[in-house]
Amino acid sequence: MSDMKIQKYLADAGFGSRRKVETELIAPGRVTVNDEIALIGQRIDPEKDVIRVDGERVNPRKKVYFVMNKPPGYVCTREDEHGRRRVYDLLPENAPMVHTVGRLDFHSEGLLIFTNDGDLTARLTSRKYKVQREYDVKLKGRVPEKIIALVRRGVRLEDGFVKPVSLKVTRVTGANIWVRIVVDEGRNRLVRRLFEHFGVMVIKLKRIRYGSLHLGRLARGRTRRLRPSEIQALRADVDFPKS
């Protein structure tokens, strides 16, 4: 592990992707090496150097991987100025420091991955690898097929054009309909915005798949460790180099 860049070391230790480490930890001066402010790209020897974040010493951790069935009404941030419940409160008490792979907004639910593997996180969330996310979505009202067709063809949002990988109506319940949509990027509130663009309200949104990982029958609010085969499948999704 000797002689490596500080951002890779911190990413491997569970502080998020290398980009996040650079912008949120190193650039603001929150990281020190041997009691001196660290620089982006600085090379370190973890066996000899003392690395701290916000004054707390950092130790390398074994890589871990969890999947959660996130309930609605929880945020994916570590701290919330409004005092709302956090997904981190649902992790096992003995869980090591981990971060989420992407996010689900406050009202959304379903599959959420946690890990301290910063390199894998960076690939899973990068647009380059087009990792698919699949959702079950309940829409308010009997949305006309012509609007479904327009979303299916693609929508130009304020941050660029988006075209779903697939979109189909799955069932009708009372005055509302359910659709299943697959997208291959993770922009903020992307699925909600696709429908809101046409004045359609999303009543419920549940992620059921991220890449090759399926939510399955994991109960709402519960968390489990990923099986080795699932970790390998996620790595294969993004052409992760074999160790």
* 217-230: average pLDDT: 97
| Confidence at residue 46, expressed as pLDDT on a 0 to 100 scale | 81
| Confidence at residue 38, expressed as pLDDT on a 0 to 100 scale | 95
DSSP 29-51: T-EEETTEE--TT-EE-TTT--E
CATH of the domain at 26: 3.10.290.10
* 19-38: average pLDDT: 94
CATH of the domain at 222: 3.30.70.580
CA distance 135 to 110: 9
What's the start-to-end Cα distance of the chain, in Å? 14
* 38-65: average pLDDT: 87
Using a pLDDT cut of 70, give the percent of the chain over it.
98
Distances (CA, A) of 192 to 92, 142, 201, 207, 211: 30, 17, 8, 12, 20
Chain mean pLDDT for the chain: 93
Is the pLDDT at 178 greater than 90? The verdict is yes
Specify whether 22 is located in the same domain as 86. Answer: no
> What's the whole-model pTM score?
0.79
| Confidence at residue 161, expressed as pLDDT on a 0 to 100 scale | 97
Specify whether 151 is located in the same domain as 117. Answer: no
Specify whether 76 is located in the same domain as 123. Answer: yes
Specify whether 141 is located in the same domain as 157. Answer: yes
Residue-wise pLDDT for 112-152, tens only, equals 999 988 889 999 999 999 999 999 999 999 999 999 999 99
- Active-site residues, by number, are 105
Residue 243 lies in a domain: no
Specify whether 205 is located in the same domain as 138. Answer: yes
CA distance 236 to 179: 28
Q: What angle do CA 117, 44, 63 make, to 5 degrees?
A: 15
Residue 242 lies in a domain: no
Specify whether 223 is located in the same domain as 183. Answer: no
Q: For residue 11, what pLDDT band results from cuts at 50, 70 and 90?
A: confident
| Confidence at residue 1, expressed as pLDDT on a 0 to 100 scale | 47
Q: Nearest CA to 208 among 178, 232, 231? A: 178
Q: Nearest CA to 13 among 123, 121, 125? A: 121
Specify whether 148 is located in the same domain as 172. Answer: yes
Specify whether 145 is located in the same domain as 192. Answer: yes
By the 8 A CB rule, do 238 and 102 touch? no
Q: Nearest CA to 95 among 234, 216, 235, 225? A: 225
Q: Where are the beta strands (DSSP E) in 19-132?
A: 31-33, 36-37, 43-44, 51-53, 56-57, 65-70, 99-100, 109-115
Q: Among 1-15, 51-65, 185-199, which range has the highest average pLDDT?
A: 185-199
Specify whether 123 is located in the same domain as 161. Answer: no
* 89-99: average pLDDT: 87
Residue at a domain's end among 17, 33, 57: 57
Is the pLDDT at 29 greater than 80? The verdict is yes
| Confidence at residue 159, expressed as pLDDT on a 0 to 100 scale | 95
For 120, the token pair is: 């894998």
Specify whether 221 is located in the same domain as 204. Answer: no
Tally of CB atoms within 10 A around 113: 24
Tally of CB atoms within 10 A around 1: 11
CATH of the domain at 155: 3.30.2350.10
Residue-wise pLDDT for 193-220, tens only, equals 999 999 999 999 999 999 999 999 999 9
Specify whether 71 is located in the same domain as 40. Answer: no
| Confidence at residue 243, expressed as pLDDT on a 0 to 100 scale | 55
Tell me the residue range of the domain where 170 lies.
Answer: 132-210
| Confidence at residue 62, expressed as pLDDT on a 0 to 100 scale | 79
By the 8 A CB rule, do 195 and 181 touch? no
Specify whether 114 is located in the same domain as 220. Answer: yes
Q: Where are the beta strands (DSSP E) in 141-201?
A: 155-157, 160-162, 166-173, 176-183
Q: Report how many domains make up the chain.
A: 3
